[in-house]
Structure 1
Amino acid sequence: MKTKKLEDIHGLTPHNWEEIKNLGYEMVDDMVSYLQNIQEQPSWKEIPQNVKLHFEEDIPQNPQNPKSVYQEFKEFILPFPKGNIHPRFWAWVQGTGTITAAFSEMLATTMNPNVTIGEHAAMYVDKQVVKWCKQMLNYPETASGILLSGGSMANITGLTVARNFHNPSVRAYGIQHHKKQMVLYCSEETHSCITKAAEIIGLGNKSVRKIITNEHFQMDINELKKQIALDLQAGFQPFCIVATTGTVNTGAIDPLKEIYELCKTFNLWFHIDGAYGALAKLDPKFTEQLAYIEKADSVAFDLHKWLHIPYELGCLLVKNAEAHRASFAITPNYLLQTKRGLAGGLDSINNYGFELSRGFKALKVWMNLKEYGIHKYAALIAKNNEQAQYLGKLVSGSKQLKLLTPVTMSIVCFQFIHKQANIQTINKLNEEIIIRLQEQGIASPSSTILKGNYCIRVCIVNHKTKKNDLDELFLWVIKIGNQIVKEIGL
């Protein structure tokens, strides 16, 4: 066989543009139908062993027909989704997506720009979306912001700015050069990404003071004051308090006003982890309670939750734009900016975060907000919160179910109970209820443990959910619970 010269090897463009166009039409038709009829599918399906074995194949050595590759996708991947596009997905805190945003992903990846540097339209779309994020939360126009992969990256970026603001020498000399151990505060219900962030930015997890919560799972302000006093007395340097607006366990909102006042008193950075609940500020019922988001030094929140942007997309806003830029800005010779040409334009996004390579994340937000408008999203958020209250009332009115904490936003935590069972049996029973709901494709709640009680956790951030879905969940929990009780002979 004659060896081809390298310059004779065909590139990655299609051999037959008409065939690839027809395949694209087929994909669009299939995906629109899939989403249109998703409610007829089970909420989740177990992956068969033969499908798992399929993904142990070695790397392909030679080209395959694109149509056959797509058929493989339809056979082995599409039938086994996580399920967060389904109306009865209520596990964790995960948004549902939209068809327009799915189309926007095709448009963005076709353009395929690196959206951190250069004079091109995607940079201006990114800037506009960050501006819209500030307007959503009524944050100052002069603040800076950056789009990131999600709340975890937004939180670590915000805490980096907070650390550098209180320790300006850290970029030059590192954290070990600082004379005092820096410490930050959050509640014991705060997301684990805050602890990871402390480890990554060099403070260590022992620097994170996890303050106990009250009966509503909110940070206990008196305990927070005591811990700050103890740390000051011991020679530590408190630098930041992280407040949560919607904990992932129960949806609890920390006392923002009191935390803000403590930050002012002790000159601490006021950071908000609003990954789940910051956008609840758009619901009139929560606007006042979440008003102090506007006073935070930084706020992290997700757009792939209640804004239903496809994964993944989060945002960090920082009130002090100069402090934000000073934490990351660096300009090597190969990134010099010019007044004109491709290297002109806006300030590099790389000056506000770690990444120098980013896709066109902003387009899916831009298109969704253009199509639906922020008032539509506000109404959907309010609807989810009302649905949670509705489910909470169903649970409270049942003799076989027990509400484990008041419903704050859109999270409902409850148990199936039995008067003849001890707590260990009740916990196992509820774990089995959740698994059977999932395995039977009825619904996908998740679980958590509250004060030793294993509970069914329903988190409604789903624009497809209707009240009858919650009615069905309520009935099935009781039905499956009674089946298990019968099986174990209680």
Structure 2
Amino acid sequence: MRAAGHHAVDLVVQRLCTVADGPPHAAAAPAALQPLLGEPLPEEGGDLTGLLDQLTQDVLPLGIRFDHPRCFAFVPTTGNYPAVLADLLSTAHLSVPGAWLVGSGPSAVELTALNWLKQLLGLPDHWGGLFVSGGSLANLTALAAARDHQLGGDLTGARLYCSTQAHPSVARAAHLLGLGRDQLVALEPDPDQRLDPRNLTAQLDADLAAGLRPFAVVATVGTTGTGAVDPVTDLARLCRRHGLWLHVDGAHGAAFALSGRGHDMREALGRADSLTFDPHKWLFQPYETGCVLVRDPELLKATFRMARHHLDTGYLHPAEARHGEVNFDDLGPQQSRGLRALKVWLSLKTFGAAAFRRAVDHGLHLSDHAAARINAHPGLELTSKPSLGILTFRCRPGGGSTDPATVDRLQRSVSDAVRATGQALVLTTRLRGRTVLRMCTINPATTTADIDTALDLAHRAVLAADPRL
């Protein structure tokens, strides 16, 4: 056990110290992986140390290296070494912060980590919540509480509102909560890709006049496409006027509140009824570290408490909270749940909050640098200004073509060409119906030189592109 464990730590350290070596993306076709992993069930055991080598050499590197300094795809994450050790320890101890009886120590760690997150985001002490797997489950958990509190058991005529720029997990949550697709009203955004309170007001007035039942609005702080921030304060005022629940999906962008630039966001976040926050994004945690926070934690308990859903109360009765303990399985959909909070707790204890604030500021600086380079480059065009470490741009065709289909094909060709170099990863998205290139610059290991390299690669790809593009 010690020999394999020491070897595993060596492999982890080697991985973390060589992140920038090699390409930011590697893939293999299913046919190539079949001989390696498509084996029959083994009846006899093998050498654990050798198996660790096989995984780290042949399997785990196949994918996006989200911590590579020139990986600008999706929303990169870096993880950190204390968080790796936190997962190791919590797994070894079979830590379950579900019922207090089952894991009082783990539950206390989660309570502390939640309090620290509230301090980082500027939320009042009375807010509460729990750690979940990520933004998708956080959105589902919050909207389930909103549905029950606002509608009871009657979904007739219910309407949930968001912008078309909201994350797909909002639509999936609506589906899982029993809402038909027509009951999710996705409004076109304003020119800055934000949910427009005026359009929302008009839609609410029309729906109320038609006898429908609006119950909640989802505002996004940091859309995945452009990093747009919906006007949370105005939306909160509108929701209060109509008695609606305001959920803020801040999976990426809520971390902006850590920075000096984002201090004003704290007040806006505090106006929500619930908030999604993903530490596995801009708080640099490994995946499976999401969080949902609500203004009134009792509303989570009203939806999820175990006693509400008991079929045979005898088995779980000994684990019920009786003396002020917190049972996290009363606050969300999971009963058996891992100690995700330990990653956050150990990271903050090891590095201190100031290190994370500096890292967020660094990501903002990088996106500003990228925008300045793009604006100064004759072959590049900024299509959305930097917002929360995200920006989009377009490459101009070498022949000067303005045909929309040609220009769109060029952006996809440039993305493919940059990826093929093995030096950077820049993918595309859609903005106002057009294909554009997108960069997310939040990796604290990324430098301005990495930004310059990626943009230079994009420009070279244009020069080498087929003129017919």
Shorter-normalised TM range: over 0.9
Aligned 8 A contact 1:241 1:270 in 2 = yes
| Structure 2 stretches lacking a partner, 5+ long | 308-312
Q: Match of 1:191?
A: 167
Q: Match of 2:378?
A: 399
Deviation at 1:489, TM superposition (A): 5.6
Q: Which residue, 111, 117, 121 being the options, matches 2:93?
A: 111
Q: 1:427 to 1:144 in 2, by over 3 A?
A: same
SS in 2 for 1:406: strand
Q: Match of 1:156?
A: 140
- CA deviation map 1:413-441 (0-9, x unaligned): 01111212522122111112112222321
| Residue 404 (structure 2) pairs with residue 428 (structure 1) | no
Q: 1:369 to 1:206 in 2, by over 3 A?
A: same
Q: 1:289 to 1:351 in 2, by over 3 A?
A: closer
Aligned 8 A contact 1:400 1:416 in 2 = yes
Q: 1:52 to 1:445 in 2, by over 3 A?
A: farther
Once residues 260 and 51 of structure 2 are traced to their aligned partners in structure 1, the CA distance between those partners, rounded to angstroms, is 48
| Residue 117 (structure 2) pairs with residue 133 (structure 1) | yes
1:98-247 → structure 2 map (5 Å cutoff)? 98-117=80-99, 118=101, 119-168=103-152, 170=153, 175=154, 180-247=156-223
SS in 2 for 1:395: helix
Q: Which residue, 462, 485, 488 being the options, matches 2:443?
A: 462
| Residue 348 (structure 2) pairs with residue 372 (structure 1) | no
| Residue 38 (structure 2) pairs with residue 56 (structure 1) | yes
The residue identity in structure 2 corresponding to 1:161 is A
Once residues 469 and 338 of structure 1 are traced to their aligned partners in structure 2, the CA distance between those partners, rounded to angstroms, is 52
Once residues 379 and 36 of structure 2 are traced to their aligned partners in structure 1, the CA distance between those partners, rounded to angstroms, is 44
SS in 1 for 2:261: helix
Aligned 8 A contact 2:226 2:392 in 1 = yes
- CA deviation map 1:297-340 (0-9, x unaligned): 11011010011111111111111122221111123322224699
| Residue 58 (structure 2) pairs with residue 76 (structure 1) | yes
SS in 2 for 1:305: helix
SS in 1 for 2:174: helix
Q: Match of 2:289?
A: 313
The residue identity in structure 2 corresponding to 1:207 is Q
Aligned 8 A contact 1:116 1:348 in 2 = yes
Once residues 52 and 265 of structure 1 are traced to their aligned partners in structure 2, the CA distance between those partners, rounded to angstroms, is 58
The residue identity in structure 2 corresponding to 1:196 is R
The residue identity in structure 1 corresponding to 2:243 is N
Deviation at 1:278, TM superposition (A): 0.5
Task: Give the TM-score normalised by structure 2.
Answer: 0.94
Deviation at 1:77, TM superposition (A): 1.3
Deviation at 1:288, TM superposition (A): 1.4
SS in 2 for 1:299: strand
Once residues 199 and 60 of structure 2 are traced to their aligned partners in structure 1, the CA distance between those partners, rounded to angstroms, is 49
Once residues 51 and 339 of structure 1 are traced to their aligned partners in structure 2, the CA distance between those partners, rounded to angstroms, is 47
Q: Match of 1:279?
A: 255
| Structure 1 stretches lacking a partner, 5+ long | 1-19
Q: Which residue, 397, 415, 421 being the options, matches 1:440?
A: 421
Aligned 8 A contact 1:281 1:291 in 2 = no
| Residue 253 (structure 2) pairs with residue 291 (structure 1) | no
Deviation at 1:113, TM superposition (A): 1.9
Deviation at 1:70, TM superposition (A): 1.6
Aligned 8 A contact 1:434 1:445 in 2 = yes
Q: Which residue, 231, 241, 245 being the options, matches 1:265?
A: 241
Aligned 8 A contact 1:51 1:76 in 2 = no
| Residue 309 (structure 2) pairs with residue 333 (structure 1) | no
SS in 2 for 1:57: coil
Q: 1:345 to 1:65 in 2, by over 3 A?
A: farther
SS in 2 for 1:166: helix
Q: 1:458 to 1:61 in 2, by over 3 A?
A: same
SS in 2 for 1:47: coil
Aligned 8 A contact 1:196 1:205 in 2 = no
Segment drifting more, 74-83 vs 375-384: 74-83
Once residues 389 and 463 of structure 1 are traced to their aligned partners in structure 2, the CA distance between those partners, rounded to angstroms, is 14
Once residues 43 and 411 of structure 2 are traced to their aligned partners in structure 1, the CA distance between those partners, rounded to angstroms, is 48
SS in 2 for 1:285: coil
Aligned 8 A contact 1:143 1:321 in 2 = yes
Q: Which residue, 321, 331, 349 being the options, matches 1:352?
A: 331
Q: Match of 1:33?
A: 14
Aligned 8 A contact 1:144 1:324 in 2 = no
SS in 1 for 2:281: coil
| Residue 362 (structure 2) pairs with residue 386 (structure 1) | no
1:81-92 → structure 2 map (5 Å cutoff)? 81-92=63-74
Query: How many residues are aligned here?
Result: 459
Q: Match of 1:5?
A: none
Deviation at 1:52, TM superposition (A): 4.5
Larger Rg: 1
Once residues 321 and 469 of structure 1 are traced to their aligned partners in structure 2, the CA distance between those partners, rounded to angstroms, is 43
Q: Match of 1:16?
A: none
Once residues 290 and 94 of structure 1 are traced to their aligned partners in structure 2, the CA distance between those partners, rounded to angstroms, is 24
Q: 1:401 to 1:347 in 2, by over 3 A?
A: same
Q: Match of 1:303?
A: 279
